[in-house]
């Protein structure tokens, strides 16, 4: 080999706008923390209260198991809300996703409207949807199911549409050349190709739905969240801990179950 | 192929048969380059027509224009008695159902069975779930799909996932799907290109035999000279978007055909 080659400079000169951008981001982070973080003395007092002998943590332990059976029934209702909301959301997400997909949408305007609705459903938090549906159908699990359904249309609609956009177009073109109808192409070529992705998205939607359904009760939309709120309001922290632990078991069980199904099916 | 081409008509046996395809002044341009520059030719019923040309000569574009998978810029295509350019969307779907297409990449739907893929061919004349999945199909349709698989020699693979089959077997399934259409004319876009030499020859022979048995017109793009010489009645050569050659295969000189292929022929002078 001939002589050594000089290593390049460690840092390259960047354009001025890049430096400005970096400074703006750093300033945003610092001001955000400064304006919202708790004062240190408050944090210190709060932590001391939390761990004191008569404090919050001490009152939580041991968890109160006297009402486990009632909590279990409410947990079942929460799971049913999650399953119903996810199932309805997935069913409605599918046509929305078709309308939002470039090659499958009947018209560009329809595609834009479908994409806009999916983005809107996804952007508004499910707690806000829950409050909206409580006004429409009243307190209880029905409002929760509807909130979860809308949230899942936004979530699954986006991922279903992305999967359909990415599907190999060859088989679709082959069926189009045969003279197949739009529905024929969708169900014969697109759906089989997207099935692994659809399955993964559906299972993630169920997991998301289970986590969401536990919180919806906080605003009165049914499920275990109502009991958690009441337990906190009445300072029954030992019962609240029982509810939190049982919710944790449910969420972990659903996640493990969906991981197992994903591994088997995909 | 046994049809005899005589002055604008063809004699298939003793019955005179007119042209099934007439292309006149076909032009296709993508704004900048003009891919097809006034292509004209005629194909007669029951005849096997090979289209040859180097990469980029416009062969695949021509084939796609014939069934309006690509809309031509100008020119006229008459196929099976239709002015293809004037067909409405609905009429175009009905027209396409009579034209079988075999692709270079088989374009089968992965993850589902060979039988379901063949069954999709029936979507040319039937719609709804019964034409989407083999388990939902009426018994006569399933039987016809099985018969098509049997004709191409892969009936024993009917319920296997199509993506678990070899390249040659997949191309046979694609041909079975084409047969399921009950087409009158078959367009084949380099059906042997992505296969090993033996599988490629087997597929070309199968396609040629099936076309002969069913009296189908076969228009095949070929990139192998030996297949062109063996499996066609007539050859047209495309060069820079023009038809630079139109000759009966029996009278074609393989040496003169070389310039239409990208790779030299083994053993040729």
Instruction: Please write the tens of the pLDDT for every residue from B134-167.
Output: 889 999 999 999 999 999 999 999 999 999 999 8
Inspect the interface and report whether the beta carbons of A175 and B108 lie closer than 8 Å: no
Q: What average pLDDT does chain A have?
A: 90
Mean local confidence (pLDDT), B194-216: 88
* Statement: residue A241 has pLDDT above 90: yes
* Best mutation target, A107, A174, A183, to test chain B (most B CBs within 10 A): A174
* B265 vs A173 pLDDT, higher one: A173
Q: Which residue of B has its CA nearest to A178?
A: B97
**B110 in contact with chain A, both atoms CB, cutoff 8 A:** yes
The model's confidence at residue B268, banded by pLDDT at 50, 70 and 90, is very low
For A70, A72, A210, A224, A225, the CA distances from A254, given in Å and listed in that order, are 20, 15, 8, 16, 18
Q: Is A227 within 8 Å of A202 (Cβ atoms)?
A: no
The pLDDT score that the predictor gives to residue A61 is 83
Give the Cα-Cα-Cα angle A155, A157, A160 (nearest 5 degrees).
110
Which pLDDT tens digit goes with each residue over A62-93? 888 888 899 999 899 999 999 999 999 999 99
Note the helical H segments in chain A: 16-36, 40-51, 56-60, 68-99, 108-123, 126-137, 141-166, 169-178, 182-185, 191-216, 225-233, 237-265
The pLDDT score that the predictor gives to residue A3 is 64
Mean local confidence (pLDDT), B59-88: 91
The pLDDT score that the predictor gives to residue B264 is 43
Inspect the interface and report whether the beta carbons of A179 and B93 lie closer than 8 Å: yes
pTM of the model: 0.78
The pLDDT score that the predictor gives to residue B186 is 93
- ipTM of the modeled complex: 0.79
Which pLDDT tens digit goes with each residue over A98-156? 999 998 999 999 999 999 999 999 999 989 999 999 999 998 889 999 999 999 999 99
The model's confidence at residue A188, banded by pLDDT at 50, 70 and 90, is very high
Count of pairs with CB atoms under 8 A, one residue in A, one in B: 73
How far is Cα A179 from Cα B108, in angstroms, rounded to an integer? 15
**B135 in contact with chain A, both atoms CB, cutoff 8 A:** no
> Coil, strand or helix: which one is B224?
coil
The pLDDT score that the predictor gives to residue B11 is 42
How far is Cα B224 from Cα B190, in angstroms, rounded to an integer? 9
Q: Is B217 within 8 Å of B185 (Cβ atoms)?
A: yes
> In chain A, pLDDT over 70 holds for what percent of residues?
98
**B95 in contact with chain A, both atoms CB, cutoff 8 A:** yes
Mean local confidence (pLDDT), B209-230: 88
How far is Cα B193 from Cα B209, in angstroms, rounded to an integer? 19
How far away is chain A from the Cα of B40, in angstroms, using its nearest Cα? 23
The model's confidence at residue A261, banded by pLDDT at 50, 70 and 90, is confident
B125 Cβ partners below 8 Å, 6+ apart? B97, B182
> In chain B, pLDDT over 90 holds for what percent of residues?
44
As given in the structure block, the two tokens for residue B51 are 């289209």
Mean local confidence (pLDDT), B224-239: 88
How far away is chain B from the Cα of A4, in angstroms, using its nearest Cα? 44
The model's confidence at residue A266, banded by pLDDT at 50, 70 and 90, is low
The pLDDT score that the predictor gives to residue A223 is 85
């Amino acid at each position: 080999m001939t002589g050594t080659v000089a290593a390049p400079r460690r840092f390259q000169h960047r354009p001025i706008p890049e430096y400005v951008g970096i400074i703006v981001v750093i300033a945003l982070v610092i001001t955000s923390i400064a304006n919202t973080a708790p004062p240190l003395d408050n944090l210190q007092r709060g932590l001391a209260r939390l761990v004191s002998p008569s404090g919050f943590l001490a009152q939580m332990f041991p968890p109160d198991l006297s009402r486990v059976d009632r909590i279990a029934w409410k947990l079942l209702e929460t799971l049913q809300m999650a399953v119903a909301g996810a199932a309805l959301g997935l069913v409605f997400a599918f046509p929305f996703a078709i309308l939002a997909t470039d090659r499958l949408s009947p018209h560009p305007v329809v595609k834009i409207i479908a994409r806009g609705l999916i983005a809107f459903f996804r952007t508004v938090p499910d707690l806000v949807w829950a409050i909206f549906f409580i006004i429409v159908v009243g307190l209880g699990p029905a409002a929760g199911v509807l909130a979860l359904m809308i949230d899942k249309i936004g979530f699954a609609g986006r991922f279903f549409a992305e999967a359909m956009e990415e599907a190999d177009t060859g088989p679709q073109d082959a069926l189009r050349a045969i003279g197949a109808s739009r529905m024929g192409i969708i169900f014969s070529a697109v759906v089989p190709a997207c099935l692994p992705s659809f399955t993964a998205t559906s299972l993630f939607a169920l997991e998301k739905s289970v986590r969401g359904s536990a919180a919806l009760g906080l605003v009165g939309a049914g499920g275990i969240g109502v009991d958690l709120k009441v337990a906190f309001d009445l300072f029954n922290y030992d019962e609240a801990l029982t509810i939190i632990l049982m919710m944790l078991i449910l969420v972990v069980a659903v996640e493990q179950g969906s991981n197992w199904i994903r591994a088997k099916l995909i | 192929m046994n049809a005899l081409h005589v002055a604008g008509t063809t004699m298939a046996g003793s019955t005179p048969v007119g042209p099934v395809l007439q292309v006149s002044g076909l032009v296709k341009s993508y704004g900048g380059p003009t891919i097809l520059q006034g292509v004209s030719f005629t194909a007669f019923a029951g005849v096997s027509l090979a289209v040859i040309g180097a990469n980029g000569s416009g062969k695949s574009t021509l084939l796609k224009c014939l069934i309006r998978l690509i809309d031509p810029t100008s020119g006229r295509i008459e196929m099976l008695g239709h002015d293809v350019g004037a067909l409405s969307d609905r009429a175009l779907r009905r027209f396409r159902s009579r034209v079988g297409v075999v692709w270079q990449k088989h374009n089968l739907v992965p993850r589902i069975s060979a039988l379901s893929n063949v069954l999709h061919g029936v979507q040319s004349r039937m719609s709804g779930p019964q034409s989407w999945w083999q388990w939902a199909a009426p018994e006569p349709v399933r039987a016809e799909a099985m018969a098509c698989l049997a004709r191409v020699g892969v009936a024993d693979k009917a319920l296997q996932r199509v993506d678990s089959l070899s390249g040659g077997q997949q191309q046979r399934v694609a041909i079975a799907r084409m047969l399921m259409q009950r087409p009158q004319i078959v367009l084949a876009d380099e059906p042997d290109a992505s296969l090993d030499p033996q599988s490629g020859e087997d597929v070309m022979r199968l396609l040629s035999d099936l076309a002969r048995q069913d009296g189908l017109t076969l228009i095949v793009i070929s990139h192998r000279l030996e297949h062109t010489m063996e499996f066609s009645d007539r050859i047209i050569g495309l060069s820079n978007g023009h038809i630079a050659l139109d000759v009966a295969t029996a009278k074609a000189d393989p040496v003169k055909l070389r310039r239409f292929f990208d790779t030299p022929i083994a053993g040729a002078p």
